[in-house]
Structure 1
Amino acid sequence: MDGSIAQPRPLLALGLRLATAAVLATMSMLVKLAGERGVSLPELVFWRQAVTLVCVVALLAAWGQLSSVRTTRLPAHGRRAAYGLTGMFFVYGAVMLLPLAEATAISFTAPFFAVVLSFLLFKEKVGAYRWGAVAFGFAGVLVLTQPGFGLAGGTSIDPIGAVVGLVAAFLVALISFQVQDLNTTEAPWSIVFWFVLFTTPVAALPMPFVYEPHEPEVWGIILAMALCGALAQILLTSSLRFGSAGVILLMDYTALLWATWYGFTVFDRAPPASLWIGAPLIIGAGVLIFVRERALKRRSAQG
């Protein structure tokens, strides 16, 4: 392993991204399960980061690649870590407040926020297609959350949870721009290393106030959650080494299948009719944004 770009292997990249979606959905299920067993949000975030740090350092040491994390951009890594840790609290918070499938569907709004941020921060020209997709996607959010209406055979979900989920998606979009910038000079493993190195000590600060003893079964859930987080980070990084981000990101939508299945089998919650209406609107809008941006990039490359 090194910091260079790996030879493109599209099928391997797609497979890795499918595995990433499954592992992340499993991690979300375990986060929710741990929360229902009384584990606090700050404690879950700490163990997630601490275990990932150990795994990343161990892998880099085993491969003799610890030197690859050298950087001259510590302030940029620090900003990414600050936003990333904040985003993790909102992502986990949404999972704990909302049913799994609904939390996962709302997380798919990140591309919509990316379009808005590209317009506000980078003055990028956004045409009618992408603005229409953003409006289309947020209409799906309204159908899914049904704020105060209970339409489409479902019931409205926790409005606080919905807001937390939307803030989480916004932060994911914002972080994607930071990571994109870091990728211009940093190796993928360096970005992961500095993220967990900066955030683990910060996440440890509330531990003396929130930590409580747990039963062995609960410790098993916490450890499995943290290992899933570490594995997902590794799979995510590997998928981006072998394939185009624009293509493999579409595989993330398969997480909804896993979340729906876990919601039914683990938490005994059948998905409401609103999910089957709202989620396709959100996913369809995301695909439309992807197709449009890909077409614009091709046109730019040709002209």
Structure 2
Amino acid sequence: MLVLVKLSSESGIHLAEILFWRQLPTIPILLLWFASTGALSALKTQRLGKHAQRALYGITGMFLNFGAVTLLPLAEATTFGFTSAIWAVILSALLLKEQVGLYRWGAVFLGFAGVLIIAQPGDGHIPLFGAMVALAAPFMIALISIQIRDLTRTESPMTIVFYFSLFTAPLLALALPFTYEPHSPYQWALLGGLALSGLLGQFLLTAALKYGAVASVIVMDYSSLLWATVFGFWFFDRLPTAALWIGAPLIIGAGLIIAYREHRVAAAVRSVPRIP
């Protein structure tokens, strides 16, 4: 999906329009899916305000995430995206008042050391603005994950995805009169592939979280760096710098430490006997 975002941007399509065509097809496809499975009742909700708030944060996160891909090489943008686990630790301490131990705080510092190695502030290899956008995107993802954790208490994952598209597509449509230009068949093919790959990715991620342990899903997510490297060379003739291969293991290692410690904490909580 991110390859298609980058190709679409390089072909001259405005970022706001890229986001619009990413979101719009989700609405009719999910409506058909709910109708065909007899699950239209799942769209009933008492939490429209929370869905609207999630949509506002989500569209901000998508602008940043897609923007990072257009501003940075694919592998670097992907690696910065791994810092969402690090931001989640910081936000859980600040917003949820969770107790964060030495291991997870150590992982936070380890991860940001990896960011500094990759960014190499001052040498001009990575644009400062691009690096800031790429770091802000996972921050928003971490913030959104806290919202989704709350929404899943009463809503199904597909319901959350549906209302996210339902709220954001009309907002993005407001920008079309200012950004839309006639497209070539090649550009329409890019936008169509972007919409399909994005929706398929959401379905696959939902299925992964349903059938696999969260820690396992997080570990497999790091394989996206391999794909970003391959696709970055294949489509854009760009290989990562040596700094990325030094900094990326630090960021990934920080994420794995955080995932392991959260798994241990959750296991300890489950093992505590409840007093009847």
Q: TM-score range by the shorter chain?
A: over 0.9
* 1:217-228 correspondence runs (5 A): 217-228=186-197
2:31 is the alignment partner of 1:57: yes
Q: How many residues are treated as equivalent by the alignment?
A: 272
* 1:257-296 correspondence runs (5 A): 257-296=226-265
1:214 CA displacement: 1.2
* 1:9-24 correspondence runs (5 A): none
**Offset from partner CA, 1:126-162 (integer Å, 9 cap, x none):** 111101000000100111111114xxxxx62111111
CA contact (8 A) 1:69 1:189 kept: no
Separation in 1 of the partners of 2:103 and 2:136?
Answer: 24
For 1:35, the equivalent position in structure 2 comes to 9
1:187 CA displacement: 1.2
CA contact (8 A) 2:215 2:260 kept: no
> Percent of aligned pairs with the same residue?
53
Separation in 1 of the partners of 2:156 and 2:117?
Answer: 41
For 2:69, the equivalent position in structure 1 comes to 95
For 2:100, the equivalent position in structure 1 comes to 126
CA contact (8 A) 1:81 1:198 kept: yes
1:240 CA displacement: 2.0
For 2:176, the equivalent position in structure 1 comes to 207
For 2:48, the equivalent position in structure 1 comes to 74
For 2:19, the equivalent position in structure 1 comes to 45
CA contact (8 A) 1:113 1:173 kept: yes
For 2:213, the equivalent position in structure 1 comes to 244
Return structure 1 stretches of 4+ with deviation > 3 angstroms. none
Q: Higher relative contact order by CA 8 Å / sep ≥ 6: 1 or 2? A: 1
CA contact (8 A) 1:52 1:229 kept: no
Separation in 2 of the partners of 1:256 and 1:53?
Answer: 30
1:243 CA displacement: 2.4
Separation in 2 of the partners of 1:75 and 1:222?
Answer: 30
**Offset from partner CA, 1:224-274 (integer Å, 9 cap, x none):** 011111111111222222223233122111111111101001000111111
For 2:156, the equivalent position in structure 1 comes to 187
Give TM-score, length-normalised by structure 1: 0.87
1:200 CA displacement: 0.9
Counterpart residue identity of residue 58, structure 2: G
Separation in 2 of the partners of 1:52 and 1:190?
Answer: 11
Match of 1:185, SS? coil
For 1:175, the equivalent position in structure 2 comes to 144
1:64 CA displacement: 2.1
For 2:132, the equivalent position in structure 1 comes to 163
2:78 is the alignment partner of 1:104: yes
Q: Which runs of 5+ in 1 are unaligned?
A: 1-26, 150-154
Separation in 2 of the partners of 1:40 and 1:114?
Answer: 30
Moved more, 131-140 or 119-128: 119-128
Counterpart residue identity of residue 81, structure 1: A
